[in-house]
Amino acid sequence: MHVIIIGAGTGGLALAHGLKRAGISCAVHERDRTRGDGLQGYRVGIDPDGSRSLSRLLPPELFDTFVATCARSGDRFTVFTEKYKEVLSLTGFAKSGADGAGSERSVSRMTLRQILLTGLEELVRFDKVFTRYDQHPDGTVTAHFEDGTSATGDVLVAADGSHSRVRRQYLPHAPLEDSGLIGITGKVPLTEATRALLTPQVIDGVNMFLAPGGYSLVIHVMQFPWDERGRPRQGIGASDTELLDAWPGLQFDNTRDYIMLAFGGAARNLPADVLRMNGRQLHDLTVELTRTWDVRLRTLAELADPSTCFPVNIRTSAPIAQWPTSNITLIGDAIHTMTPGRGVGANTALRDAELLCGRLVSARDREVPLMAAIRDYETQMIDYGFTAVRKSLAQMRGSDPVHKPVVGRAVLAGMRTGMRVVNHLPPLRRRMAAAAQQYRGHDRDA
Ligand SMILES: Cc1cc2nc3c(=O)[nH]c(=O)nc-3n(C[C@H](O)[C@H](O)[C@H](O)COP(=O)(O)OP(=O)(O)OC[C@H]3O[C@@H](n4cnc5c(N)ncnc54)[C@H](O)[C@@H]3O)c2cc1C
């Protein structure tokens, strides 16, 4: 069996590791031109489920490297007003499993990608922009690339992210929709001066600042492990050398400690050209929008390195019914793009990779026919994948007003009062922390 994987992102590379370990032939075709291409974003939260999938798919030494290069994980989720007044603080998020794999982890996206690319050098083909596929009567499938080359195999896996060209050809009725929310991210170096702008709670977890008009700011402090000589860990994942020479500044620096800012606002309240703005314009926009906020938050917005500011159009897929099974299948954002509030998109891609890998191994070992194995994967994936899509969207739009894109002043005041009440009643706060954890999706082992 030969498996063609389109896309060397989180899901595609994790799947390739699993197949390689199981002795199944595969190749990953990626549009990026080199290993160091492209800005993958800054932070991604890998939850206990994602960590367990990685521990099962990666060679043990590579999983250890992943663990060693994660930032310190916090234990707290705190909600503040834009005036820096705490309204709710929940703890107990740094879960650890008996196998050591099941912990909540904070990772630099660039580091994660470098780790996932390690050991797959001979399997990843860069500069291969997928254009279309053909299915043949003998059960094989051919992927075609922009450079005129092609690859033929027994199974084609779309791991090419939210704008998947494979999905567009295979499931043209599967829609991708704007959520109405725009994000703007930026990085601030963590120094003595910037640390002074943060409270201990802010340093210890994920923090959401809610402002009138539906604006919000998520702050996450990324502190990386230091080696015995007091320097950031180098080696796999550190992009300091080549990339920092090419792009000086913070943008490609994934080993020095920093504060990540993720500003959110309703698209209809932001300038129409926000998605086309450059880093300096986005920086100035967030400074302007935080003008009336607490001076410490305003200062952080001002100190964000403009070269690190970029916009994100938050999109979502819409659930579709199961389709007739064939030798083409999909994993990750290629099939279930979701809004990022619950932080489970990459984790679900890892779950897909683990499940699909297991089903392909069963088919290779002739325990089940190949089509039955793919059907079983898709039946399970459609269920949990689109559940995650629905929960993520519901959290953003309605059932959880914390993530609603626009809330009026009265609603915001009511929400804040409700959170303050919960904050002062420990049993209620504990119940909410437990519900929040389950809601985030740590329900796989339940
Ligand atoms: C602001 C934000 C914050 C997020 N935070 C979290 C978080 O904390 N935790 C979490 O679990 N998830 C998070 N997510 C979601 C997560 O980033 C995605 O779900 C995850 O990256 C999906 O992985 P993937 O492998 O499916 O796709 P990707 O990682 O997007 O990989 C797709 C790959 O395919 C390649 N490709 C695309 N088109 C082609 C083509 N035509 N030919 C060849 N190659 C192609 C791309 O270059 C890329 O390498 C967040 C998302 C956003 C927007």
pLDDT in tens, 31-55: 999 877 766 678 899 988 999 999 9
pLDDT in tens, 269-288: 999 999 999 999 999 999 99
How far, in Å, is the centroid of ligand 1 from the Cα of 163? 10
Strand partners, 86: 80
Domain 179-315+403-440 has CATH 3.30.9: yes
How far, in Å, is the centroid of ligand 1 from the Cα of 332? 8
Tell me which residue of 341, 67, 358, 80 sits closest to 198, measured CA to CA.
80
Nearest CA to ligand 1 atom 52: 340
Residue 48 near ligand 1, beta carbon < 6 Å: no
pLDDT at 403: 46
How many residues would you count in the chain?
Answer: 446
In this structure, the number of other CB atoms found within 10 A of the CB of residue 216 comes to 22
CATH class of 2-72+102-177+318-397: alpha beta
Residue 346 near ligand 1, beta carbon < 6 Å: yes
Residue 57 near ligand 1, beta carbon < 6 Å: no
Contact between 277 and 240 under an 8 Å Cβ cutoff? The reply is: no
Ligand 1 atom closest to Cα of residue 162: 30
Locate the domains of the chain by residue range: 2-72+102-177+318-397, 179-315+403-440
At 138, list the tokens.
């003998």
Per-residue confidence of the chain (446 residues) as pLDDT tens digits?
A: 999 999 999 999 999 999 999 999 999 999 999 877 766 678 899 988 999 999 999 999 899 888 888 888 777 889 999 999 998 888 876 655 444 555 678 888 888 888 899 899 999 999 999 999 999 999 999 999 999 999 999 999 999 999 999 999 999 999 899 999 999 999 999 999 999 999 998 998 889 999 998 899 999 999 887 665 555 555 555 554 554 454 555 666 677 789 999 999 999 999 999 999 999 999 999 999 999 999 999 999 999 999 999 999 999 999 999 999 999 999 999 999 999 888 899 999 999 999 999 999 999 999 999 999 999 999 999 999 999 999 999 877 754 444 444 455 666 666 667 777 766 777 766 666 666 655 455 445 33
Q: Pairing between strand 25-29 and 124-125? A: parallel
CA distance 211 to 387: 29
What is the DSSP code (8-state) at residue 72?
P
pLDDT at 373: 98
Nearest CA to ligand 1 atom 30: 161
In the β-sheet with 2-6, what is the strand arrangement from edge to edge? Answer: 124-125, 25-29, 2-6, 155-158, 328-330
- Please compute Rg for the chain using Cα positions: 22
CA distance 233 to 225: 7
pLDDT at 436: 60
How far, in Å, is the centroid of ligand 1 from the Cα of 428? 36
Best residue among 160, 218, 317 to mutate for probing ligand 1, ranked by most atoms within 8 Å of CB? 160
Contact between 188 and 64 under an 8 Å Cβ cutoff? The reply is: no
Residue 385 near ligand 1, beta carbon < 6 Å: no
CA distance 153 to 140: 6
How far, in Å, is the centroid of ligand 1 from the Cα of 10? 7
Best residue among 4, 13, 30 to mutate for probing ligand 1, ranked by most atoms within 8 Å of CB? 30
pLDDT at 241: 53
pLDDT at 442: 46
pTM confidence score: 0.88
